[in-house]
Structure 1
Amino acid sequence: MKQLHIKISDDLYEEIKGNSMARECTMQSYIVECLKKDKVNKLKDIQEAQKDYKFKFIDLFAGIGGTRIGFERVGGKCVLTSEWDKYCQQTYEANYGDKPVGDVRELQVENIPEYDILVGGFPCQPFSLAGVSKKNSLGRPTGFLDETQGTLFFEVARIISGTRPKAFLLENVKNLVSHDKKRTFTTVINTLEQLNYKVFYKIMNGADYVPQHRERIFIVGFDKEYFTGDINFEFPRKVNLIQPKVKDILDKEVDEKYTLSDKLWSYLQAYAQKHKEKGNGFGFGLAELEGTSRTLSARYHKDGSEILIPQEGKNPRRLTPRECARLMGFPEDFKIVVSNTQAYKQFGNSVVVPLIEDIARKMMITLDEEKARRL
């Protein structure tokens, strides 16, 4: 027989007490009954209803929920999640209790619950401008339908247009800015502005928050139809006086399976030497423990070459999945429930959590200013 000790709110305590008295049983017996009869969600719903949320948001292209953590930390409640990858769905459900809906293209705006902020990334895709001049596109409120049809950004624009969130945050790789001779990024910004949003964007480096060089483009927008005054927003600036270091995220003891084999280590050294002779910088990245690592990518599971940890007296090693989680700023209790291969892909595709949290906090300042104007 095992014992479980939990802390609950006073209101939930009274709810359980009242229900147990009505059934003429102990509170412990009532809770066990609920668990056996799959009434856990009932207890969860009661607890959730008591929380004081500042705003609601939806999480598109959610991955494993790094953006969700950032927005929850500033008082948000996620009311809908979309993520098609089945392994990401497993990790997401294990950590948040919600299984994401699948393909974002199947989301109907009329079925999306009321919310305040839309967040998410989207794949970088080229847009076709066939038959649509820039002049005509900019002159029509629905011009984005022609320019972005068939892309996943179109789905973001469709949902923003149909639900009118007060604000949004979109994240993408740095190369979105230069993709397809800058046409892709220009189309994205034009589209969002055509939807009558004031748009701000900035390339930010996760190295301000974690010991990893990770540049991403962040696009923030505020609904001009909602705001009654000036829309003022500034992206966060670096505030850490102490730079995070790679050594800070490392485990003290690591399984030998993460150490590179002689064959793989020899191959990586030869590969790097070959490209060095050609005058380019391709090759492995041996991390400086007192410094910042290269960017963690989704391909890390292949050989780990972009971030290798030096080891005294033996070959370098890969990061463990838990170390990857720390490198992205995920909390220590974040559950890793998939294979190492999938975990590496998931963290490599994710966001730097504390950076997202800081952007969310700045967005709330702008929204709170408008709320104050309305009082």
Structure 2
Amino acid sequence: FFWGQARDCNGPMARRRRALTQFVTILMAFGTWFVTRTSHKLVRRSRPALCANISSQGKGGRSRSSQKTHASDGMEEARFVPVGAIVAPLRMANIVLRLAKGGWNKRRNVASGGWKRSILPYDGPTTLNLSEKDTKYNRLLSVHLSPEASWALLQPDARERVPKELWRLLEEGLVEWKPGLRIGSKECGGPSNVLRCLPPIRESARFSFVELFAGIGGFRLAMESFGGQCVMASETDPLAKETYSGNFGDVPVGDICEVVESHIPHHDVLTAGFPCQAFSAAGEQQGFADRNGNLFFEVTRVLRGCQPKAFLLENVPALYTLDDGRVMKVMLEELRKAGYRCTWNVLRSNAIVPQKRRRIYFVGLRNDLVSEEGNNSMDLEFEWPQDLLLASEGGKHFTDEDANFPTVGDILEEDVSDSYDLSQDKWDAIMDRERNNSRDPVEFRIVSPRDQARTIISSYRRSHEWNSQYVRRSDSMNESTPPRFFTEREIARLQGFPDSFELGKCSSPKRLYHQLGNAVCPLVVARIAENLLKAAGL
């Protein structure tokens, strides 16, 4: 009756109807926000922090300054990525499967970098008391846990950290905790679970290498230019794997945490651009208190288990000063304990590509390949590319005036589609924002064809309104005319990828900006690798 009587859109009944509708809409929005906020709090409180001091985070998380201060928390006790599984008979399957709630088992969503199956048949030793009756239901399963869950079970106060139901099952011997059990372990089906379609090793190859955290294969482009063969690559991003396999023919294996080091093929050089989000100045810089930050220890695990002759690693330069240098100290110590003599440097790329990209590189040689003279005698065998040095101890330092550096005009495409143009509204908003920050929008946000671009990041297109640079279609365009984005091919050229590198192999073209922004510069890697291979006798 109430709604039916509101025939006059401007009458009192119509106004009441609109007011009631607005009130209900606001009430529903508030209810949705409250439920979401409460559930997020419950999830955060129920999950143990990985290798970090939970008490230092507080209820509302840590501020940026405190995150930097505690970026190396927890690493004195455990410098590894915790892995493990719960072994249980089939008759306990329903109870164990409930561990999936709350994020305790490994993710099974392939699109998010997880595994198709986190529950596998188990064929290995066990302390479980299995009756001879009902052998069908006594078949064992392994439920592989998340790093947070594995870390909780490794703690002395695990009883207070894990779900009460799980702890009761463990105490009564109905299920068993197997620390260190990986999806690729022999007991869970062996390397066939993770090491699929590895290429056969060529006898004609000059040397062999593996590529951890491979991305789209920047290290591989550089190493293959010297006659090397990649015997294994590891990457979890399914779209990056599409681009990788489309160019090299090999599909990278998934999570390196689930690969047993003894199953990795023999190799001479290990390369890795381990995740930088935990160390980058653009992020929260939680260091080893972040799950991604701990993946560095997967590099040292493989080095200890496989003992290649040399390694080459890459990351962001902010890593050097993070947590007053304590994070860097831990990394160098772990590389030394793995049996390597290591040196590092911050190099720039703009001597060979038109991009001002600074990255820190670590190179190392196995101890038996380095003489014992001096504290860091590896410097006698290995020399950094002098024209790429940004800041180092000794060596010639080049400036922009010392060489004819490449410019953006060298990499621009012709006849670029209008789909790369900014809209007028977006460009006006960006100009207003930059003027409010006392910056010239044209000087700060538009790169001249006669200049070099700033560092290309993975969010170049996704969050372009904050920091990304654009290019004009012609020099005659005035300030108010919207510029355009760099194309995917132009970004690839800025990163040093050749035009022969296929960009159309990814099923999501918009994701190419993310992949290229995360990639290493193959030309810089090649300059380093040339000297490293000589030092390693390869």
Counterparts of 1:120 and 1:207, CA distance in 2: 22
- Structure 1 distance, partners of 2:350, 2:371, is 36
How do residues 337-348 of structure 1 correspond to structure 2 at under 5 angstroms? 337-338=505-506, 339-348=508-517
Partners in 2 of 1:76 and 1:201 — Cα distance? 23
> Among 311, 314, 317, which residue is 1:174 paired with?
317
User: Following TM superposition, where does structure 1 have runs of at least 4 consecutive aligned residues deviating by more than 3 angstroms?
Assistant: 226-231
Q: Of 98, 103, 128, which residue of structure 1 is paired with 2:255?
A: 103
Q: Which residue of 1 aligns with 2:238?
A: 86
**1:321 equivalenced with 2:488 (yes/no):** yes
In the alignment, the residues of structure 1 paired with residue 457 and residue 202 of structure 2 have an alpha-carbon distance, to the nearest angstrom, of: 38
User: Given the alignment, which residue of 384, 389, 398 partners 1:235?
Assistant: 384
Give secondary structure in 2 for the equivalent of 1:333.
coil
Q: What are the equivalent positions in structure 2 for 1:143-222 lying under 5 Å apart?
A: 151-222=294-365
| Alpha-carbon RMSD | 2.6
CA distance in 2: counterparts of 1:262 and 1:150, whole angstroms: 40
Aligned length: 303
Distance in 1 separating the partners of 2:218 and 2:288: 28
For 1:292, the equivalent position in structure 2 comes to 452
C-alpha distance in structure 2 between counterparts of 1:357 and 1:211, whole Å: 17
Q: How far did residue 82 of structure 1 move? A: 0.2
How far, CA to CA, are the matches of 1:76 and 1:115 in structure 2? Answer: 10
Aligned twin of 1:140:
none
Matches within 5 A, 1:1-375: 49=202, 52-124=204-276, 125=278, 126-127=287-288, 151-227=294-370, 231=378, 232-238=381-387, 241-276=403-438, 285-302=445-462, 304=464, 305-312=467-474, 313=477, 314-336=481-503, 337-338=505-506, 339-368=508-537
State the shift of 1:227 in Å: 4.4
C-alpha contact (below 8 Å) 2:341/2:370 kept by paired residues: no
Structure scoring higher RCO (CA < 8 A, sep ≥ 6) equals: 1
Aligned-residue identity in percent: 34
Q: Is the 8 A contact 1:170 1:218 kept in 2?
A: yes
The alpha carbon displacement at 1:311 in A equals 2.6
Shift in alpha-carbon separation, 1:361–1:293, aligned structure 2, 3 A? same
Tell me, yes or no, if the aligned pair for 1:284 and 1:306 is still in contact at 8 Å: no
C-alpha separation between the residues in 2 aligned to 1:299 and 1:194?
36
User: 2:231 & 2:202 partners in 1: Cα distance?
Assistant: 13
The secondary structure found in structure 1 opposite 2:226 is coil
Distance 2:462 2:275 in 1: 22
Q: CA offset at residue 340 of structure 1?
A: 3.3
State the 1:127 CA deviation: 3.1
Instruction: Measure the CA separation in 2 of the matches of 1:361 and 1:332.
Output: 22
- 1:113 Cα offset (Å): 0.4
Q: TM-score, normalised by structure 1?
A: 0.75
Cα distance, 1:49 vs structure 2: 3.8
Max radius of gyration: which structure? Answer: 2
C-alpha distance in 2, partners of 1:150/1:316?
37
SS at match of 2:271: strand
Deviation at 1:241, TM superposition (A): 3.7
Which of 156-165 and 284-293 deviates more?
284-293
Question: For residue 417 of structure 2, what is the amino acid of its counterpart?
Answer: D
2:294 alignment partner AA: T
Q: Cα deviations across residues 114-147 of structure 1 (Å, max 9, x unaligned)? A: 100000111244236xxxxxxxxxxxxxxxxxxx
> Unaligned 5+ residue runs, structure 2?
1-196, 279-286, 389-401
CA contact 1:122–1:152 (8 Å) conserved in 2 = yes
Q: Deviation of residue 331 (structure 1)?
A: 1.1
Alignment partner of 1:64: what SS? Answer: coil
Shift of 1:98: 0.4
Q: Which amino acid aligns with 1:98?
A: D
The alignment partner of 1:360 has SS state of helix
Instruction: Report the AA paired with residue 457 of structure 2.
Output: S
Matched residue type, 2:404:
I
The whole-number CA distance in structure 1 between the counterparts of 2:518 and 2:293 is: 23
C-alpha contact 2:202 2:229 (8 A) present in aligned 1: no
Deviation at 1:64, TM superposition (A): 0.3
Contact 1:246 1:292 in 2 (8 A): yes
- Could you state the TM-score of these two structures normalised by the residue count of structure 2? 0.53
Residues 340 and 300 of structure 1: CA distance in aligned 2, closer, same or farther (over 3 Å): farther
Give the Cα separation in 2 of the matches to 1:276 and 1:329: 33
Distance 2:424 2:463 in 1: 13
Contact 1:285-1:294 at 8 Å conserved across structures = no
Contact between 1:63 and 1:350, CA under 8 Å: does it hold in 2?
A: yes
Structure 1 residue 262 displacement after superposition: 0.2
Aligned to 2:430, the other structure's residue is in SS state helix
Give CA deviations for 1:156-185 in whole Å, capped at 9, x if unaligned. Answer: 111101111100001001111112222111
Q: Which amino acid aligns with 1:302?
A: R
- Give the gaps of 5 or more residues in structure 1: 1-40, 129-147
